[in-house]
Structure 1
Amino acid sequence: MRVELCTEPGNPARPNEDFASVALPASGQGGALVVLDGVTPPEGDDGCVHDVPWFVARLGGALCELSVSRRDMTLAEILSAAIGRTADAHRTTCDLSHSRTPQATVVLARWDAETVEHLVLSDSALLVESPDGEVDVVLDRRLDTLPERVTRARSLVRSLPEGTPERAAAVQAYVAEVESLRNAEDGFFTAAADPSAAFRAITGSRARADVRTLAGLTDGATRWVEKLGEGDWTECFAYLRKAGPQGLVDRVRVLERERVAAGVRVGGKAHDDATAVWVEL
């Protein structure tokens, strides 16, 4: 089994809000892949005394443990239990009902001798390669289908000069629109403090014989495809196989710096925390 992992902050002066791990039981039977992308809250109160890295470490650790110890539970049930366990760790000190309470996107995969299961919640990605080299990408597309008012608000922000009062006001309006849709019926879902969000995740399974490799990517790494135009998902997977997770993240950083030097905006951040995990079964 080949396992490689890279996670790197977008800004070395700030803590990395991603989490990644591969759990391999001592029994040697199966394993699990966990990738989380902590959601950076806007400046201001979020109702919590803990930061996002604390949250993703707690949630990620629970997911690793439960994935390998509770084979009787589905991945949605495991995520639900992990969210509940993490919430219990700080509900007496923090306002977990706050819309900005720490939260994360989730990629979770688990395998044994017979089956490979997967779960994706929000905008991280799981790539699954078959023995014949076909690559299937598992995505939660709900962030791509938000109401038109959100896309209008985002476009307005990007059209205004940075550092101006008009842009600051537009950013506040855009953030308010997005927050109104977070973990809402007509919006999108993240792993925060409500265990029921786990049952909104994209889930599925396939025969173990139909899977050769798994790769989990946060949206800082999926920029290679989605923001930077280096190629499609199959080409991204081929690049991962050749260069490894560190090589993919390094290439993303080079492309980001080129865009910054050219005055081209790449999404909402010049650089984002980026994580890639490769598991060749």
Structure 2
Amino acid sequence: MRTELASEPGNPFHPNEDFAAVALPAGGQGGALVVLDGVTPPPDGYGCRHSVAWFTSRLGGSLTELSVSEWDSPLSDVLSQAISRTARAHTQTCDLSHPRTPQATVVVARWSPTTVEYLVLSDSALLFERPDGTVTAVLDDRLSLLPRSALATAAHVDSVLRNREGGFWTAAADPAVAVRAVTGTVPREEVRTLLALTDGAGRWTEMFHEGDWTDCLTFTRKSGTRGLVQRVRELEVTDTDRAFLRRAKTHDDASAVFVEF
């Protein structure tokens, strides 16, 4: 079994707001991967004394632990428990009702000798490859399907679209959001490889169009997760005309977890 992980901040002078982990319990019969992408808050405050990096490390740590300790619980229940545990850690000091209270996208995959379970919430991605080389991308595309006019201002997104019906969902302080995630289960024998990506690493496909998701997984198998992130950084730097980046920030936190059975 091969596992690789890379996580790099977009700005080396700022904390990495991503979280990435692989859990391999003793015995080697199963495991889990967890990838979070923290939502960068606005500069005018977000009701919390803690950083987004604090939040993603807390939530990610709980998710990683619960994914293997609560083996019989569905991943949506695991996410709900992890959100509740994280909220309890700062509910007495912070305004968790603020629309920009620390939050994150979520990818979790958990495997046993017989099944692979997955959960995706918001715009990170999970790829799984079948033994015949076919690659399936599990995506929560609700944010990308919103009209550009609806995303015109941050205030509008926060008050009307973020964690609202008709908008999109992220893991923040309300455990009920877990049921909004994209979930599923496939037989373990039908999965050869898993690749989880925050959107910073997914830029390889979604922004710079270096290839489709199959090409992305193939590139990562050959070059490794660090090679994937490095290639994204090269593409960001060379896009001096912002033909691909457009209004996006030049560098984003980028994380990838690769698991090959």
TM above 0.5: yes
- 1:32-83 deviation line (CA, Å, top 9, x unaligned): 0000000001111111010011101110111111110111100000000000
Q: Distance in 2 between matches of 1:91 and 1:66?
A: 21
Give the C-alpha shift of residue 265 in structure 1.
5.7
- 1:208-244 deviation line (CA, Å, top 9, x unaligned): 0000110000000010111111111111111111101
Counterpart residue identity of residue 200, structure 2: G
Aligned residue among 141, 156, 175 for 2:154: 175
Counterpart residue identity of residue 95, structure 2: D
Tell whether the 8 Å contact from 2:207 to 2:244 is kept in structure 1 after alignment.
no
Give the C-alpha shift of residue 146 in structure 1.
1.4
1:1-281 to 2 correspondences below 5 Å: 1-147=1-147, 149-150=149-150, 153=152, 174-179=153-158, 180-259=160-239, 261-264=240-243, 266=245, 267-281=247-261
1:144/1:280 CA distance change after superposition, 3 Å:
same
Structure 1 consecutive aligned stretches of length 4 or more whose deviation exceeds 4 Å: none
- 1:178-233 deviation line (CA, Å, top 9, x unaligned): 21200000100000000000100000010000001100000000101111111111
Give the C-alpha shift of residue 262 in structure 1.
2.9
Q: Distance in 2 between matches of 1:27 and 1:93?
A: 41
- 1:152-175 deviation line (CA, Å, top 9, x unaligned): x2xxxxxxxxxxxxxxxxxxxx11
Q: Distance in 1 between matches of 2:79 and 2:124?
A: 15
Counterpart residue identity of residue 116, structure 2: V
More helix per residue: 1
Structure 2 gaps, min length 5: none
Matching residue of 1:161: none
Q: How many residues align?
A: 259
Matching residue of 1:170: none
Counterpart residue identity of residue 227, structure 1: M
Alignment identity in percent? 63
Q: TM-score, normalised by structure 2?
A: 0.97
Q: Distance in 1 between matches of 2:150 and 2:156?
A: 6
Determine helix, strand or coil for the equivalent of 1:61: helix
Give the C-alpha shift of residue 148 in structure 1.
5.0
Give the C-alpha shift of residue 268 in structure 1.
1.9
Counterpart residue identity of residue 262, structure 1: D
Q: Distance in 1 between matches of 2:6 and 2:214?
A: 20
Give the C-alpha shift of residue 264 in structure 1.
3.8
Determine helix, strand or coil for the equivalent of 1:5: strand
> Max radius of gyration: which structure?
1
Q: TM-score, normalised by structure 1?
A: 0.90
Give the C-alpha shift of residue 176 in structure 1.
1.2
Give the C-alpha shift of residue 26 in structure 1.
1.5
